A and B are shown apart, each in its own frame.
Chain A
Amino acid sequence: MTTLELQFGGGLEALFSHKKQMEVRVPDESVRTIKDLIEYIRTTLIRERHDMFISQGTLRPGILVLVNDVDWELVDAREYVLKEGDHISFISTLHGG
């Protein structure tokens, strides 16, 4: 199992009973990359309004991801291999300002 610290912001927390932070333990054989983590979140953590998180089978464009406070685009994005204790943030940009 891998322990991860998840953070949700920019309105996404509404999908997780308004919890902005949570610690999860994920099976390391099936949840190896962020791509797997996104699927894990979709199937086990989100109960409704999946379309706010997923679009056409992948993370909805307009949601930013940071790995230990680094833009995921700098660390292989979906293919990033998760490590014990990683802090992964999902921040939506899709809400009005």
Chain B
Amino acid sequence: MVRACSSCKVDKAAVKRPKTGKAVCKKCFFGLFEDEVHQTIISNKLFSKGERVAIGASGGKDSTVLAYVLSLLNRRHSYGLDLFLLSVDEGISGYRDDSLAAVQRNKVEYGLPLLVVDYKRLYGWTMDQIVQVIGRKSNCTFCGVFRRQALDRGATLLKADKVATGHNADDIAETIFLNFLRGDFPRLSRCVDAVTGRGSELPRVKPFKYTYEKEIVMYAYFKQLDYFATECVYSPNAYRGHARQFLKDLEAKRPSAIVDVIHAAEQFRFPEPGNPDVAMPVQRKCERCSYISSQRLCKACILTDSLNNGTAAQVNRFSTNKFSSNE
């Protein structure tokens, strides 16, 4: 027999919450889920009234639930935000075309304006064409660098003040592990922040920083939200896959592991840029496209050059450490 909800004590419990172990009914689960996202938004000062916010929308579970919940909280708590959906079309047939169809349905259902930016127009290359040239190894490097910049460029077109992404607690814990394993401490200190680039032209915010993947999927399931789930045709991304599996195994044994990893990483402190002992990269602007960069040319321009002049396969071979990805 199913026990009663530990919150309202009336209805039948439907979800065991991974963070607390509490059993709650559907209705209380929705309320707690939405309130916790609201708390993350308020306590980390993710938004200010009147801001234009571009939601990075892939058509997958996280961004679909994010678009739904942000619209809801914006109305419920009068955030006064102008919300937009922003999608990136990498040009991967059999993958992105289907997921973009899901974003188109979200646009109608949630009544949010949608902008789609694509690699072909921004860089002159689709991912399908890039993979034809460089093969399947490390193509995620190109895609990661291009996607990050494409989101920023799309957000600029929307005159957005911020970009909100659907990164959830599991994603963040996974990225903490990855950056730790790679010894990448500039990213290790950044990746756990709910806001990155605070004070820059286009900060990125993660309202789902403390939200478990399990709860996002349960929320979408109970609310019957329309999302698209498939693996990218090029993506095995083996290293991240190992970190993910490791974390999922830990979670199965002790569900609070995920949020504990995040709390641990929040305590990491690293020297400021300029400390001679540890060279943290200093941010400046790309000389060609004026995108933010730590070198003379930004990564996207370097990678586009390598595709155009036929050296991409070589760049690819030496790139694993330099341009590992965008966490």
Residues on A lying within 8 angstroms of B by beta carbon are 9-11, 14, 55, 61-62, 64, 66, 69-71, 73-75, 89, 91-97
Contacts and interface: CB of A to CB of B under 8 A. Distances in A.
B268 interface: no
B58 A97 contact: yes
Contact of A61 (B13, B227, B232, B252): B252
Contact of A97 (B63, B214, B249): B63
A71 B222 CA distance: 11
Interface string B197-228: 00000000000000001101110011000010
Interface string B55-77: 00010111111000000000000
A39 to B, nearest CB: 18
Contacts of A62: 213, 244, 248
B16 interface: yes
Interface of B: 2-3, 12-16, 23, 58, 60-65, 166, 168, 170, 213-214, 216-218, 221-222, 227, 229-232, 235, 244-245, 248-249, 251-252
A62 B16 CA distance: 14
24 contacts: A62-B213, A62-B248, A64-B221, A69-B222, A70-B12, A71-B13, A71-B14, A71-B16, A74-B15, A74-B16, A89-B221, A91-B217, A92-B229, A93-B61, A93-B216, A94-B244, A95-B60, A95-B230, A96-B231, A96-B232, A97-B60, A97-B62, A97-B65, A97-B168
A89 to B, nearest CB: 7
